[in-house]
Chain A
Amino acid sequence: MRARPLVVGAMVAAGLLVPLRQDDAAVPRSPVAAARLVEDVGGPADLSWGKLRAWRRLGDGWLVLWQPSHGAWVLRALVKDDPHPVRWRLQVAPWLPGVRPSAPLARELVGAREAIDARRIERLARRDWDLSGQRVAGGLLLGRDLPELPTGTLGPWPALLSGALLAGALCLVLLPGNLTRRWTVALTGALAGLVAVTPSVVAVGYPAFRVGVRPWVAQLAIFAAVCLVSTALAAFAARFGALRDRPRALELGVAAGLGLVAGRLEPAEALISVAGLTARPVVWLAVTVALGYLAAVAAIGLRELLHPVRRLRLPFLASLLVAAAATAGSWLGPVAAALVAAAGPRSRACWTATTLVGFWIVGSTLASCAWVEPLRDAGLLLLGGAGVLVTLAAVEQ
């Protein structure tokens, strides 16, 4: 009987096909296409925009950002998925000189037909006006205010993962078992790849590009941050290692199916932004291995923390998974990886968690992006991943 490859394939297919509540439609265009739309529609014509530097997914639109190399101004635009209207906002350094227009002239500049509230802001060498959300700096029209970036709290799930991660790290020291360095090597390699492509990844570092900060400094800051985090992760993996075991196709099949469901259920906004990069496969690989490894260590910790109630471990983990599906939002992928890996044997936690995170990324991308490049790459990864799992099942058979 050759049922095992079929079962594994069915699990992956089920993860892809199971009907889910879908509130949000897929994003119709890439951030680069959104930027081109702004360039076509037209923004401030009085000055050079500079290069397209960064983007970020916000709600049902793209925030795209241009900045010239001197950094003295930044042009941001919000392109909704329904492209009308495109809103843009220019931010200029407070020290830039300009004229000191009167209130009527400022109203004239924004084209206000009736008297609207005007708030005057005296700068060093110019006068700015805030006319009910429309801004004028010196004689320059700055456009309308854009929605603020969300500054939400992290919530309980990252705290749970952090605690479990600390417990897992201690478990790997106190009860080491059969440790292997292969995961450390894989993680270091994936992170080295990420560092190597960082110059083309900086576009997702939207908040780093600010008025008055030259873009190369912002890019350097992002590069330094990526290097720091990658080094810290590699050092963490080198210190604690991972447990050695062979993967089991059925476990990986379950993880793949659940990963696809998690990704389709709650597509992460950060992953939509990453989908706009040309180096997206390298980022996906690095995120998969890094998050998978961390989730595995957290799973080991969670497993040991639940040791006193080991008969209730599976129902408890299942109820946590249901709660996470309802409330974890963008954290659903890593949380699900830790919970599912904690349900299996600890020696195979890395395999399970990494598979779940990888298929979560694929599922999220397939569910949230409607332009061709990320769909192509995610489709190829899905086929490749499913193929590997089926082959593994066949070999096991």
Chain B
Amino acid sequence: MAVACCAAAAHLTLGRGVGGRELAIDAVRRAFAGLDYHPVGAPEASFVGNQELAWAIEWVHRDGGPAATSGGALLWRVQFPGGGEGAATPDGVVWAARRPIPADPGANHFPATVQRPLRENLARVFPDVEQWRWTAGQSWREGNVTWHRVTFTIPAGGLPEGWESSIEVEMAGSTVISFQRHTEPLASDVGVVMGRIAELELLRSVGLLGLVLVLIGVIVAGAEQVAFRRQGPLFAGLVVGAVTWVAGTAAGLPPWECALGAVVSGGVIGLLPRPADQFPSRLLLAAPAGIAVALALLALPRLVAALGGWLPVRSAFPPQYGVSVLAGKMWFPALTEEPLLRGALPFLAAPIAGWWGGALVGALVGCLLHPVPAVPLAASLAAELGLHLGMAAVARWGGLASAILARGVCEGLIRRASFPAGGAADALILGSVVVALLAALQHSKRRRA
């Protein structure tokens, strides 16, 4: 089973990140060469994602498969240490470039005659420049150099119908200094995505209200424990709280959110009593369950598309990219939401509605916390509900620790496609699976002993 888990995790991880880094660097280098500039040094490439644009493109291409790499939704930003920076799409289309201003930028041009030399300069980078339509231009003088800024409307190749593309070019003297492409999506296509995002934000506030209510329950139950002088696993709570704080910091969350998450998870683990009929911990369930839930969720967009709806293939882009951010995004929700929704809530609700009643309420609250826009909206909520019901099942038959491990693994596999390709991120996710399996083996050995 361990081998099968590793194989499945590798299948869901390797090659699923946003690639094209080398292709983008080459494209930017070629563009600079076309502008008679030869940057020196090894460039730094960082990933930039435009969330609304990416989802809007996915929405428009819902029948023909995702094409979020077009339109500049996903870009590699390339910076050369000796000056000059640019951006290109993962499939190697140069999107922007800015070179340093040369000491002698060449002969100045009058605004009335700048169009021809500008097109000739750009032809070395963009062969189809003659098909571009001049939209706007302005000129100004800085010292002895005349600057021109020109906007062209360009053919929207590869973009959905009704979308427009433009490029803004700056030229000093006779030298093209920079260009920047812009995509203008059809308002109604972006509106579908932006409307859904606004709706999910509102629904998320209800989910947060649910978390606050559970937290109040935890505080009351914790105070009860203190009043009766019952000793809980305080040290374990402290450790979990500290790990949660580290995960939140790694994810780039604000300090108050990290601290709140640490208090919540530490409080649930350290203060809440362990019921006498607590479910036995079966850590062997964690990794397979996490992978199975991730597999189901990753297959869901196709199913929704087959039924005539739309569910994004990619999860939300994080505000920053990096292995530590991925680690934080994997483990912070696992360490905060699982103890609250699968630990505290079923415990608090058990005398009234039974464990499953509490778990169901927890799943309903949880499904409002991180949904992505979808058409219909219920598809996204159903997907999240499936994730949380899966975790409830893991917590019921494998214990809370299994649910935390399964959630971490599952989050990593789901989020992989929103992070750049790279061995470190792959190793992090596969390492998490291996750690979950090793913990399970260790735990089972201890139980046998």
Where the two chains meet, the residues of A that have a C-beta atom closer than 8 Å to any C-beta of B are 71-72, 93-97, 124-125, 166, 169-170, 173-174, 208, 210-214, 217-218, 220-221, 224-225, 228-229, 231-232, 234-236, 238-239
Contacts and interface: CB of A to CB of B under 8 A. Distances in A.
A228 B213 contact: yes
Interface in B341-374: 348-349, 351-352, 361, 365, 368
Nearest to B193: A95
A173 B224 contact: yes
B217 interface: yes
Contact of B187 (A71, A125, A232): A125
24 contacts: A71-B195, A93-B191, A93-B194, A94-B194, A96-B187, A96-B191, A166-B220, A169-B224, A208-B202, A211-B198, A212-B198, A212-B199, A213-B202, A217-B199, A217-B203, A218-B202, A221-B205, A228-B365, A229-B209, A229-B213, A232-B217, A235-B217, A235-B349, A238-B351
Contact of A212 (B194, B206, B349, B352): B194
B186 to A, nearest CB: 8
Interface string B192-236: 001100110011011001100100110110011001100000000
Contacts of A124: 184-185, 187, 190
A144 to B, nearest CB: 24
Nearest to B197: A212
A97 B188 CA distance: 8
Interface of B: 184-185, 187-188, 190-191, 194-195, 198-199, 202-203, 205-206, 209-210, 213, 216-217, 219-220, 223-224, 227-228, 348-349, 351-352, 361, 365, 368, 377
A214 B361 CA distance: 25
A224 B187 contact: no
Nearest to A211: B198
Contact of B224 (A94, A170, A210, A221): A170
B254 to A, nearest CB: 19
A125 B190 CA distance: 11
A228 B199 contact: no
Contact residues of B: prevailing secondary structure: helix
Contacts of A224: 203, 206, 368
Contacts of B217: 232, 235-236
Nearest first, the 9 A-B pairs at minimum CB distance are: A212-B198, A125-B187, A95-B191, A97-B187, A232-B213, A217-B199, A212-B195, A224-B206, A95-B187
Contacts of A213: 195, 198-199, 202
A95 B202 contact: no
A238 B217 CA distance: 13
Nearest to B213: A232
Contacts of B205: 221
Contact of B361 (A72, A97, A231, A238): A231
Nearest to B202: A221
A251 to B, nearest CB: 28
A124 B53 CA distance: 12
Contacts of B198: 210-213
Contacts of B210: 228
Contacts of A208: 202
Contacts of B190: 95, 124
A224 B210 CA distance: 10
A257 to B, nearest CB: 33
- Most chain A CB within a 10 A radius of its CB, from B188, B194, B195: B195
A125 B184 contact: yes
A210 B198 CA distance: 8
Contacts of A95: 187-188, 190-191, 194
A93 B18 CA distance: 31
A128 to B, nearest CB: 14
A40 to B, nearest CB: 31
Nearest to B377: A217
A215 to B, nearest CB: 11
A348 to B, nearest CB: 24
Contacts of B209: 225, 228-229
Nearest to B198: A212
Contacts of B185: 124
A231 B361 CA distance: 10
B181 to A, nearest CB: 16
B206 A228 contact: yes
Contacts of B206: 221, 224-225, 228
B80 to A, nearest CB: 31
A102 to B, nearest CB: 14
Contacts of A235: 217, 348-349, 352
Nearest to A96: B187
A238 B199 contact: no
- Most chain B CB within a 10 A radius of its CB, from A174, A212, A234: A212
Given A125-B184, A213-B202, 5 more contacts: A72-B195, A95-B190, A125-B187, A221-B203, A236-B220
Contacts of B228: 174
A240 to B, nearest CB: 9
A89 B266 CA distance: 47
A235 B224 CA distance: 16
A169 B220 contact: yes
A212 B192 CA distance: 9
B223 A170 contact: yes
Contact of B191 (A72, A166, A218): A72
A282 B295 CA distance: 47
A218 B210 CA distance: 17
Contacts of B219: 166
